[in-house]
Amino acid sequence: MHNKSIVLGSTGLIGKHLLTYLGEKDSSVIAITRRPIDNMPKNVSPMIIDFDEFLDQGHLPDCKHIYICLGTTIKKAGSQESFKKVDLDYCLGFAKKARESGATTISLVTSVGANADSKSFYLRTKGLLENEIIDMGFDCVNIFQPGLLLGNREESRPLEFIGQYASYLLNMTLLGSAKKYRSVDAKRVAQTMANTADIIGVHYFTYEDFLGVQ
């Protein structure tokens, strides 16, 4: 079986760290991107494409594992419709392309609280994504549900920057079953993704699952 992995969302907060961790492993990685990426690990190759054009007529190389870290915000996207295109349509489109190219494992980043029946448009979209991915027939489905992500983004999100500091205090008040809502360093999520074994079935990862990595 080929050991090639594909990463979608490779310039984002989790994706850029994931490339680093996967780059430390003895396998080949393709980073799907819309623009060049600087300082990539030597075993990571860029695949620079136009997403809409590619999903209409492109094909992914043979692969075993696809990592989907793609996501935006409704504010950045400009509308719920544009947000859905990125966080649902693009993710599903590339997952289908990966299945067609032989992928048997998918690792997907969604959000804590994702639920297809949620009243929140954001969480409902994430829940719908999870459900449709599960139904695609991958042997192994790893779903990562972090809370607020901590780390330095390429784009400026002022309110999130303030929220990161407040989150350290808030984390101490989130106990018991509420721990899963704690904020977490994006590096920890990425490292957990890179080190998760391909075990048949559907597996969910939340806050406490991200604490075992260093």
Catalytic positions: 122, 126
pLDDT band for 39, please (50, 70, 90 cuts): confident
Average pLDDT over residues 86-96: 97
pLDDT band for 55, please (50, 70, 90 cuts): very high
How far is Cα 116 from Cα 125, in angstroms, rounded to an integer? 7
Is residue 79 a contact partner of residue 19, using CB atoms and an 8 Å limit?
no
Average pLDDT over residues 55-77: 93
**Domain assignment present for 136:** yes
Average pLDDT over residues 7-22: 94
**Domain assignment present for 40:** yes
**Domain assignment present for 94:** yes
Least confident of 11-20, 125-134, 152-161, 179-188: 152-161
Residue 179 per-residue DSSP state: G
**Domain assignment present for 213:** no
Average pLDDT over residues 182-209: 93
- What are the tokens at 77? 């996207």
144 is in which domain, residue-wise?
Answer: 5-150+185-205
The count of domains in the chain is 1
CATH of the domain at 115: 3.40.50.720
pLDDT band for 214, please (50, 70, 90 cuts): very low
How far is Cα 12 from Cα 60, in angstroms, rounded to an integer? 20
**Domain assignment present for 176:** no
**Domain assignment present for 135:** yes
- The 3-state DSSP class for residue 125 equals helix
- What are the tokens at 184? 């977490």
- What b/e sequence results for 131-167 when a residue is b if at least 16 CB atoms lie within 10 Å of its CB, and e otherwise? eebeeeebebbbbbbbbbbbbeeeeeeeeeeeebeeb
